Structure 1
């Protein structure tokens, strides 16, 4: 069974093409639809609430040991939850979730303490993000025109538009759509990203082997580097053509890469 965790601002259903591929290969897949939107598991300074939401999902599964797969933010949450439930983890596959460490982690710490994360991180962009459209057609036109979304597989973009938006409660005509993943929550998640993950994992080992898949054109990988990730994974790193969002650009290839890593990690145990 795969327990999947999504990237910031993208609901789990956006990854439907990946889920269907893994299920066709015989894996069950479960996921939290929107981290950060349940008042029982709020966004906080070290993502404790969201981690506990993932732990609760892990605890609810009957299968004793699980594969954790996470994209970007979801990779961090997978590691944090694995540290709380190491005995439930068969292995972890991180999709472009490079580990912040060293002076860069110190920079994040200072920015958080000074309340400057909206300047350092994408939080400032998130809070200004357009989140409403008069109908689904206009929403699709808006995103399809942007270079980032134009690189996505068409089926993934359609899933994002249809499942990542909801009826706009402020639109009395009934056709308006708004993003389900609220920009203010997206911004708060960026502003509270954990910066002591390496120290956390020393105290709370994840309980299973870890692999990492990096996008060849990932700005996040270039900015953060892979030194700490290389140590965590013991060199279990592969590359996928694409940006930080390669799971949306190349869903079929991502399905195969994750399944390949699961097979390799399983052979090690």
Structure 2
């Protein structure tokens, strides 16, 4: 693959996190691919912006255009994966491939019930206490090079209720029919909740496959950054040339 052929890659973070979630992937891939990670509305540098899926998809579209290499591979984790599905529906010509990481569960029906409960609970807990809990959690589980960029960017607890309210009840395997590009469903092996619909999501698309990151949980790119990055790299190299 020449520099001119390299697939641009846009990374979209999960709930409450930021572009910093992808620091390891950006560092590992930037010598081969044009890469960029975005902050979704209400998160990190966009903390003051109100959340909406419409705004999220336009942010992803702007990132794709800014890389200047045509349609991009979009890698979305959790909330970012569902936002990327919406981007695929609204901007099919800007999408060259899609990686859904921890975003292959239906957000409809009973599955959504505990998440609605959490969304109601979060605003009742002081943000500084939530920040302390998250900092300790991340530092206990992961080395500094994996999580420090995320910790420095802070957490968007205030955005969680609005973001989940819009996503819950909206997505299921039928959403895959709007994706007009190859799909890699990339899940942590030990992420049963968000793997629950992976088979249905894969069957709903003519060019989708499932790959599991061994021993990884929901934050697969933190649990196994090298394996996660390698899966994205291989998928990017396999994507057909534009035109």
Scaled by the length of structure 2, the TM-score of the pair is: 0.79
The alpha carbon displacement at 1:2 in A equals 0.3
Q: CA deviation at 1:67?
A: 0.9
Q: Is the partner of 1:132 in helix, strand or coil?
A: helix
Pairing 1:189–2:163 present: yes
CA distance in 2 between counterparts of 1:62 and 1:145 reads 39
**Equivalent residue, structure 1, for 2:3:** none
Q: Alpha carbons of 1:156 and 1:51: their partners in 2 closer, same or farther (altered >3 Å)?
A: same
- How many angstroms apart in 1 are the aligned matches of 2:136 and 2:79? 26
What pairs with 1:87-126 in structure 2 (closer than 5 Å)? 87-100=93-106, 105-107=108-110, 118-119=116-117, 122-126=118-122
Q: How many residues end up aligned between the 2 structures?
A: 230
After superposition, give the CA deviation of every residue in 1:5-29 in whole Å (9 maximum; x if it has no partner).
Answer: 11111111132111101113x1111
| Paired residues for 1:14-93 under 5 Å | 14-24=21-31, 26-37=32-43, 38=46, 42-44=50-52, 47-93=53-99
Q: Secondary structure at the match of 1:192?
A: helix
Aligned twin of 1:214: 187
Aligned to 2:202: 230
The alpha-carbon distance between structure 1 residues 159 and 41, as it changes in their structure 2 partners (threshold 3 A), is closer
Query: Deviations for 1:160-219, whole angstroms, at most 9, x for unmatched residues?
Result: 222x23xxxxxxxxxxxxxxx3312022212221534345554xx222111111111114
**Which residue does the alignment assign to 2:142?**
152
For residues 22 and 226 of structure 2, what CA distance do their matches in structure 1 show? 11
| 2:99 aligned counterpart, secondary structure | strand
Give the secondary structure class of the aligned counterpart of 1:236: strand
Alignment correspondent of 1:173: none
SS in structure 2 of the partner of residue 214 of structure 1: strand
Cα offset, 1:129, TM superposition: 5.0
- Listed one character per residue, the Cα deviations across residues 45-102 of structure 1 (whole Å, up to 9, x for unaligned) are xx223223222333444211211111111111112112222122211111121141xx
CA contact (8 A) 2:75 2:100 kept: yes
Q: Distance in 1 between matches of 2:168 and 2:221?
A: 23
Tell me, in whole angstroms, the C-alpha distance in 2 between the residues paired with 1:83 and 1:41.
23
1:132 to 128, 133, 141: 128
Deviations 1:219-245 (A, max 9, x none): 4225x4323222245551011121101
2:42·2:156 contact (CA, 8 Å) conserved in 1? no
Return the alpha-carbon distance in structure 2 between the equivalents of residues 144 and 186 of structure 1: 17
Match of 1:260 in 2: 234
Tell me if the contact between 2:76 and 2:83 (Cα under 8 Å) persists in the aligned partners. yes
Bigger RCO (CA 8 Å, 6+ sep): 1
Rg (Cα) greater in structure = 1
Unaligned runs of 5+ in 2: 1-7
Unaligned runs of 5+ in 1: 166-180
Answer whether contact 1:4 1:31 (CA < 8 A) is retained.
Answer: yes
